């Protein structure tokens, strides 16, 4: 049981480049979320999904897009990378949101 | 957006001591989760509490949900170096919210 798998683990981008962070879960969870974690700021919600075909914005959605074409996958797209997007990104999934999430191991992104 | 305050922000104690960390808000929640995060890893779910006044135990860790469901505490008995990590609380509302965490260091 792999749980939540995120790729890549590390990435360096130049300002203005685009990329997609991949997230896949094999637990048939309906709820999936993307967070960014910055020193002193805690975990902040970027986008979330309550099921295939349904997405919504979180606390800090600007500069990011998501889609949910299948239950398993929830990719996060950076449209035009900026240094302010340097962060550690976590994907998480849950069967019943009220009872907590399973997190991936994160992607450490540096934008130069 | 719900505001969750965790205290203390940092805590460093000797192995064998007891400690308590807190998660507080002015809002009422239907449930609250505690996670532990180690360096380079994602948060790992420790417990979910859903009933006001509920107490749950996980080995040396005791979690309590406030009677009014606005706050929670995590008590660790006889802390060990393996307890070192970032402890995060989370609540489920319209937008899922995390506290900023308590960074705990246990000194051998």
pLDDT band at A107 (very low <50, low <70, confident <90, very high): very high
Reading the block at residue A79, the tokens are 């449209």
Give the pairing of strands B19-24 and A102-103: unpaired
pLDDT the model gives residue A41: 77
Q: Is the pLDDT of residue B2 over 90?
A: no
Residues 6+ apart with CB under 8 A from A39: none
- Chain B closest CA to A44's CA: distance in Å? 7
Q: Is the pLDDT of residue A71 over 70?
A: yes
Q: Is the pLDDT of residue A87 over 60?
A: yes
Q: In which region does residue A18 sit, left (phi positive, over 0), alpha (psi from -120 to 50) or beta (all else)?
A: beta
- Chain B closest CA to A88's CA: distance in Å? 9
Q: What is the mean pLDDT of residues B24-38?
A: 91
Alpha carbon distance A31, A45 (integer Å): 13
Minimum CA–CA partner of B40 in chain A: A105
pLDDT the model gives residue B93: 66
Q: What is the mean pLDDT of residues B27-49?
A: 93
pLDDT band at A1 (very low <50, low <70, confident <90, very high): low
pLDDT the model gives residue B94: 58
Inter-chain touch B90–A101, beta carbons under 8 Å: yes
Q: Is the pLDDT of residue A54 over 90?
A: yes
pLDDT the model gives residue A40: 76
Say which residue, B35 or A2, is predicted with more confidence: B35
How many CA atoms, within 13 angstroms, populate the side-chain half-sphere of residue B8? 8
Nearest alpha carbon to residue B23 among B57, B75, B56, B72: B72
| Contact assessment for residue B95 and residue B1, using Cβ atoms and an 8 Å cutoff | yes
Percent of chain B at pLDDT exceeding 90: 81
Q: What is the mean pLDDT of residues B26-54?
A: 93
Phi/psi of residue A83, nearest 5 degrees: -55, -30
Window 50-109 of A: residues touching B by CB (8 A cutoff) are: 58-59, 90, 92, 97-106
Alpha carbon distance A105, A81 (integer Å): 22
Phi/psi of residue A70, nearest 5 degrees: -135, 165
B55-107, pLDDT tens digit by residue?
A: 999 999 999 999 999 999 999 999 999 999 999 999 876 566 899 899 999 99
Minimum CA–CA partner of B43 in chain A: A103
Q: What is the mean pLDDT of residues A4-9?
A: 97
């Amino acid at each position: 049981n792999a749980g939540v798998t995120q790729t890549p683990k590390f990435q360096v981008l130049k300002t203005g480049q685009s990329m997609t962070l991949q997230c896949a879960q094999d637990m048939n969870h309906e709820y999936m979320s993307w967070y960014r974690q910055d020193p002193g700021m805690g975990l902040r919600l970027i986008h979330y999904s309550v099921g295939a075909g349904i997405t919504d914005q979180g606390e800090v959605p600007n500069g990011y897009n998501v889609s949910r074409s299948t239950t398993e996958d929830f990719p996060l797209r950076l449209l035009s990378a900026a240094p302010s997007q340097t962060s550690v990104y976590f994907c998480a999934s849950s069967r019943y949101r009220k009872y907590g999430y399973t997190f991936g191991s994160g992607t450490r992104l540096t934008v130069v | 957006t719900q505001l969750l305050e965790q205290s203390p922000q940092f805590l460093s104690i000797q192995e064998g001591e007891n400690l308590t960390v807190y998660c507080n808000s002015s809002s009422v929640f239907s449930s609250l989760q505690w996670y532990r995060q180690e360096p380079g890893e994602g948060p790992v779910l420790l417990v979910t509490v859903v009933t006001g006044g509920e107490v749950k135990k996980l080995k040396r860790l005791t979690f309590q949900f406030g009677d009014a469901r606005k706050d929670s505490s995590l008590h660790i008995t006889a802390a060990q170096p393996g307890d070192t990590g970032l402890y995060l609380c989370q609540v489920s509302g319209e937008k899922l919210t995390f506290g900023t965490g308590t960074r705990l260091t246990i000194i051998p």
